[in-house]
Structure formats: structure tokens, C-alpha cells
Amino acid sequence: MLKKIGFVIFFLGIFSTNYAQLSSLKVTPNQRYLSTTDGKPFFWLGDTGWLLFTKLTREEAVQYLEDRRQKGFNVIQVMGLHTLNAVNLYGDSALVNHNIARPLTTTGNRPEVAQEYDFWDHIDYVIDQAAARGIYIAFVPMWGGNVKNKAVTPERAKVYATFLAKRFLTKSNIIWLNGGDIKGSEGLAVWQIFGKTIRQIDTKHLMTYHPRGRTSSSEWFHQQTWLDFNMVQSGHRTYAQDTSKNEQWHYGEDNWRYIQADYQRTPTKPVIDGEPSYEGIPHGLHDETQPRWTADEVRRYGYWSVFAGAFGYTYGQNAVMQMHRQKGEETSFGPLEFWHEGMKAQGSFQMQYLKNLLLSKPFFERKPAQFLIQDQGKKYDYLLATAGKKYAFVYTYTGRTFSIKMSHLTGNQAKVSWYNPRNGTYTLIGTFPTKGVQTFDPPAETKAGNDWVLVLENQ
């Protein structure tokens, strides 16, 4: 094993020289988007690899990261500690006696010497290999269940947060995801300590809060200075399943509503859907006899949220997010394949086309543009529009006929095309005058999953 690891490290050392050091990220002056420190647009295309640090070997982690790089992903959302008894695949424990204030570390970081290689060295390695591939690690310090069950005190949380902030301060590709699938009101003191402690030490890296399903970080932390942008978890329920009367937000599959709500908050902060429905996971999560979310549905969540004003989008796949690796192991939500098979899911190939489309036009001037749509529709027929100064995009999930108020566009004429979210290709329709109302009929029959983007460009 050590010889294999040594070979991989040598090979990847050569590989990594092809990639420049990653720039730190910052919020743009208009407080809507992210950019690199040199001002280039950063479209967050994330993948959920929650158990990457504990469930994969170094070779497997590299295989996963390289696959995601090739598909255009530039952020991986990962858990530091899923549980307080976390142990990685090499048998290295994260903590001494499950005490979060006592990370188990060894001196040095020499993987060729087994006794000097620990849980945190492995995390360092994976983070560095992600950076070599232009990928940022959105790091969740600890899953929320550990706080909910009272296993973490504020005092211990402060020690652990200090350890993390200092250890990863010099890593160029860290984004902090405070929280971990939990309401901010459950363990509020702990989450505030994490946010404030990390920010006091680390002013370099951006930070948000990963909330529970059908909520947003803004519910508890929008006014906090440590929160640089809001993150929504729109969740995994269908319209019919989202029936809880106790939820503040009752939007079902309309994930664009979460984005729209945070987009209108003051002070202005960027917002993203960091966990919509995963491809291959059962509707509602817990009943494995339910239908599974498909590629066209995760595309819909992506285009809906981004066109509503989000600065990016996070994709997920059931087997990959939990790195399901062998028969008989404990899993959640009934994955139907192993992680390396789940990496080939159709939706994972198609997310890059959303990113490519948005970056094909001036990114920072883009705004929601529902005023362009004559007949917005409801549920699956709902249309979302976004526009810059000389372009506009309109997304339809069902490929239904719809009408656009052309008079809201600038210039005298607009070149109009269909963009295919399944393969990233354009089909020219023609040139139209920018006056009155124009009706457009997308290709193929009207049905769920026949999604298209109408692209209008000023001439």
C-alpha cells in the first residue's frame, strides 16, 4: 500500500504543476456574486461529497476529484466530522476519546512513514489534490446531529474551531460551511462560536451556514458579519410531500422561491441552493419504494435557482454523496449503486452546461428578469428569466409554448436561439424585432424534462 501511495503522490506531483495556485474568493461589490481576488467571475458548480475524507483512499479520492474536474465542478462540499468517533479508511481516528477539543494529530506529514500519517494529514492531502485541479473544498467542520444530541459544548467547539482555522489558514481553496443539516436554533451558541472563532482567525476564506432541509441560513444568521453568503437547502420533497404546516417556508419543489426570498433581504448577500434533491435519491428521502429524482429534475433545480438570482448551484448524487463503496455497509436512503458508478449519473455530466451558459455572457450584471415573461405558469410550467444589459435567458422545464415581452429588451433586434441543457448546444431560431410580444415554441413535445433555455442577444 505504501508503495502505491508513493507512486500516486509522485504522479500527482507532476500532474499538479499544470494548475496555477487557486485564488481566494470574495463577494463582488454588488453583493450578488463571487469572484476571484483578481476580479474574474466565479460560478460555484458544487458537488456533495460529504464523506470524501473518511470513505475513500487517497487513490480513490484523486479518482473522484479528477472525474469532477473533467465535468466542470469547482466546489466539493465535504464533512470534516460526520460523528465524533470518525475514523478514515486507513483506521486513523479524528479525535482522542471522541472529544472534539482534542483532535488526534501526529508530528510531521510524511505519508511514506505510517506512524506519522494521521486523519488530518489525509484531509490535507485531499484538499491539496483538489486545489491542484482547480477545486475548492466547502468544509463542514461537524455534522449538526453531534450538536443536537448535546455531544458538543460551546467550550469544546471553540477549541475545535480554533484548531481548524489555524490548520487550514494557508490553504487557498477552503470555503467554510458552518452548521451541518440542522436548524440554526438547535445549538445556536455552538454555531455562533464556530462562525465568530473561525472568522477572528481567518479573514481570508468565505463562510456560510449549511441549514436543514427547506430552510436557509438567513433565518438565523443573515445579520452576522461572519456570514458572507446565504445557503439554502431546498430539500428532497415533492409538492405533495411538503405538507408541514409548521415550516416557515412551504415551497415544495419551487426552490426558486427560497432564492427569491433571500435575494430580497437586506443587507444584500449572495445566495445559493447548496442542497436540492439529489439524483437517484427517493422522493422525500426515507421511503425507498418512492420514485427516484432524475437528471432532468436536478437540471430544473439548477436553472430555476440560478435564474432566480443564485450565484451558482450544488449538485448531488445519492451514492456519491455518501461514498457507498461495498455491499453490507450501513447506508442512508437506499443507494442503488456504488460511488464510482454513481459518478457516471447523467445529471453529473449536464451540470457543466449551466455553468458554461452563465459564463458565456457578462456575469456580474445579470439579474432576475421575470418582467420579460408574459405567462409565467405554475409548478412545472413555471418559467424563470434572467438578463444582463445585452442578453436574456428564459428557462422552461416542460418545453411549453410561451410569450416574451420583446419591448423590454434593448436595441432594435435580438438574435434568438434555443440552448439545450442536456448537451450544451445552440439552435438558431432567427432575428426578431424588440417590440411587442413574441411567442416561442420549443422543440419536441410538451412534457416534464423537455427543458430548454431561450437565449436572446441584442444585435
DSSP 123-178: HHHHHHHHHHTT-EEEEEEE-THHHHTT---HHHHHHHHHHHHHHTTT-TTEEEEE
Whole-number Å distance between alpha carbons of 226 and 27: 13
* Amino acid identity at 19: Y
Q: Evaluate the omega torsion of the peptide bond into residue 29 and state whether it is cis, within 30 degrees of 0.
A: no
Query: Fold for domain 21-359?
Result: TIM Barrel (3.20.20)
Are 36 and 28 in contact by the 8 Å Cβ rule? The answer is no
Residue linked to cell 420514485: 291
Q: Which of 131, 146, 147, 101 shows the shortest CA–CA distance to 24?
A: 131
pLDDT digit of tens for each residue in the chain (459 aa)? 333 334 344 344 434 434 447 999 999 999 999 999 999 999 999 999 999 999 999 999 999 999 999 999 999 999 999 999 999 999 999 999 999 999 999 886 555 555 568 999 999 999 999 999 999 999 999 999 999 999 999 999 999 999 999 999 999 999 999 999 999 999 999 999 999 999 999 999 999 999 999 999 999 999 999 999 999 999 999 999 987 766 666 788 999 999 999 999 999 999 999 999 999 999 999 999 999 999 999 999 999 999 999 999 999 999 999 999 999 899 999 999 999 999 999 999 999 999 999 999 999 999 999 999 999 999 999 999 999 999 999 999 999 999 999 999 989 999 999 999 999 999 999 999 999 999 999 999 999 999 999 999 999
Check residue 45 and give its pLDDT: 99
For 369-458, CATH number? 2.60.40.1180
Cell 432594435 appears where? 412
Grid cell 467554510 — which residue? 176
CB atoms within 10 A of CB 256: 27
Secondary-structure percent of the chain, ordered helix, strand, coil, rounded to 5: 30, 25, 45
Contact 4, 118 (CB under 8 A): no
CB 454 within 8 Å of CB 418: yes
Question: Kind and range of the H or E element at 430?
Answer: strand 426-433
Under 8 Å between Cβ of 226 and 201: no
Domain segments of the chain as ranges: 21-359, 369-458
Cell of 71: 465535468
**CA distance linking residue 26 with residue 41, whole number of Å:** 10
Give the residue ranges of DSSP H helices in 17-71: 52-55, 58-70
Residue 113: its pLDDT value, please? 53
